[in-house]
Amino acid sequence: MSALAWTDAEAAEAWLNAVYYVEAPQAVMASERGDGWLHFAPPAYGNEQLERHWPRHRVQPRPGRLVLFPSFSSHHVTPVGVDENRTAVTFEVTPA
């Protein structure tokens, strides 16, 4: 399995991000290490104090699970390396 470098996946214009899991690989649902999970970390502002104290959180994909989170949240998904489908619907809520 290859490692994924942290990418700053923030949506500057959006207020809210969401992901709805339709299906997930069995390896993801069985993983205890967080392979294929949605990972959150502090916003990438370069503030060491913030980065040190901001909680890290991860969410395990499960069919039927809806995850809502503020758009300023830095997030990524780790690779799994299996030949199974992962189907998710994602969207952003932006001001009119």
Q: What is the pLDDT of residues 39-88, one digit of tens each?
A: 988 776 677 887 778 888 899 999 999 999 988 888 888 888 888 988 99
CB within 8 A of 30, min separation 6: which ones?
none
Closest to 44 in 3D by CA, of 7, 84, 83: 7
72, 29 contact by CB (below 8 A): no
pLDDT at residue 4, rounded to an integer: 41
Q: Which amino acid is at 90?
A: T
Find all residues with CB under 8 Å of 91, minimum gap 6, and list them: 17, 18
Residue 3: pLDDT band with limits 50, 70, 90: very low
- Residue 82, Ramachandran bin (φ over 0: left; ψ between -120 and 50: alpha; else beta): beta
User: What pTM does this model have?
Assistant: 0.76
pLDDT of residue 19: 95
